[in-house]
């Protein structure tokens, strides 16, 4: 089959000038950042990225517990970051310019508003502040009783204008990141048939379930198997529906990989819609976006994006049957980078006025 590639267009002159100014600014001062929950998968990924970031200084890295026993060494980061993990301290976090919360929802729901009110800027990797609707939030994140002012949803490529001035950024979930980046431009353009089901069939590596072991994530349960879970009952479904403004059938699956997400997305488009038309639409939506790679009919794979902040999207469209045609999009990300720590650092760069790709390429 013919492969249609849509390379990302170069950044325009005005935007390039702004990026150069941001780079120059980063040389003069480093922001003090802290990580709470640094021993989890996303937290360790944050430390790995921040330790090599020229625009920030890590002033504290904390576990998710307040007891000394909750700390431990991180041998994977030796010679990259040689600091010590400290027990969680609310007071110490207030000393940072910006704090990453890689904590359980309940802890983030408590700490986020407290830090925001103290003037500390926050990037929260939990789901505590992602849902705008209070009823949906009460159902999926009942621990969140207070939402601070100036909260932005941190899907960077689509929300950077809001991220820039936010006091707290709700970093998107990993599944919603992959799904929304593929679907949102089509929804914006009205290209998905109104009566069409939107089906997101997503597969994730085991690290997406977090570091706390469960029977489902036990090696002998995962190895050699694939399982669906959270059918009609996964909170990321609500997040995807919020981003698209329409109903979505979302089914996540656990696959025997340590990291990565592949979402296969099924929609119907008007008769006469071509693969080139879909490609042109996505290319226009993501012109100048370094971390978006459009692969056309050469469908992407998880191994193409692991350990990177890229989102690769491919698509195919069949010949019309009646008034609509079936279209399939495949979106892949690394759940710990673009789906968590990498997107968080990308948002931090926007918030601090730094080059958006700094520390990520």
Residues tagged active-site? 174
Q: Is 318 exposed, middle or buried (0-12, 13-18, 19+ CB in 10 A)?
A: exposed
Q: Which residues contact 267 (CB under 8 A, 6 or more apart)?
A: 183, 186, 192, 193, 196, 197, 198, 199, 326, 327, 329
Give the DSSP H/E element, type plus range, for residue 35.
strand 31-36
Q: Nearest CA to 255 among 300, 217, 203?
A: 203
Helix (H, G, I), strand (E, B) or coil at 279: helix
Q: Which residue has the tokens 């996964």?
A: 234
Q: Is 88 exposed, middle or buried (0-12, 13-18, 19+ CB in 10 A)?
A: buried
Residue 239 Cα to chain centre, angstroms: 12
For strands 31-36 and 56-62, give the pairing: parallel
**Neighbour-count burial for 203-214, b at 16+ CB within 10 Å, e otherwise:** bbbbbbbeeeee
Q: Both tokens of residue 106?
A: 């309940």
Q: Is 3 exposed, middle or buried (0-12, 13-18, 19+ CB in 10 A)?
A: exposed
């Amino acid at each position: 089959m013919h492969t249609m590639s849509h390379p990302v267009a170069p950044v325009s002159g005005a935007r390039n000038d702004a990026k150069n100014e941001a780079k120059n600014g980063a040389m003069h001062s480093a922001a003090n950042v802290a990580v709470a929950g640094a021993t989890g998968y996303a937290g360790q990924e944050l430390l790995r990225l921040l330790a090599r970031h020229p625009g920030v200084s890590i002033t504290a890295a904390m576990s998710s517990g307040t007891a000394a026993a909750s700390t431990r060494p991180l041998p994977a980061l030796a010679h990259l970051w040689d600091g010590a993990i400290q027990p969680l301290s609310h007071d110490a976090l207030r000393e940072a310019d910006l704090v990453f919360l890689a904590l359980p929802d309940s802890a983030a729901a408590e700490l986020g508003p407290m830090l925001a009110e103290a003037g500390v800027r926050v990037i929260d990797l939990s789901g505590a502040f992602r849902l705008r609707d209070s009823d949906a939030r009460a159902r999926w994140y009942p621990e969140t009783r207070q939402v601070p002012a100036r909260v932005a949803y941190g899907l960077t490529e689509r929300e950077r204008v809001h991220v820039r001035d936010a006091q707290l950024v709700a970093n998107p979930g990993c599944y919603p990141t992959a799904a929304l980046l593929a679907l949102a431009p089509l929804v914006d353009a009205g290209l998905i048939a109104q009566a069409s089901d939107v089906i997101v069939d997503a597969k994730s590596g085991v690290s997406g379930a977090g570091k706390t072991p469960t029977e489902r994530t036990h090696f002998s349960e995962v190895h050699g198997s694939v399982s669906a879970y959270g059918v009609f009952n996964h909170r990321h479904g609500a997040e995807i529906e919020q981003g698209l403004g329409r109903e979505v059938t979302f089914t996540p699956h656990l696959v025997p990989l340590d990291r990565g997400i592949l979402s296969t997305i099924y929609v119907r488009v008007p008769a006469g819609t071509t693969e080139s038309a879909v490609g042109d639409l996505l290319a226009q939506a993501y012109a100048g976006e370094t971390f978006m790679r459009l692969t056309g009919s050469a469908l992407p794979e998880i191994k193409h994006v692991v350990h990177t902040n890229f989102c690769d999207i491919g698509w195919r469209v069949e010949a019309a049957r009646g008034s609509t045609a079936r279209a399939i999009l495949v979106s892949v990300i690394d759940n710990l980078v673009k789906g968590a720590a990498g997107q968080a650092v990308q948002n931090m760069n926007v918030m601090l006025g730094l080059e958006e790709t700094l520390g990520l390429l």
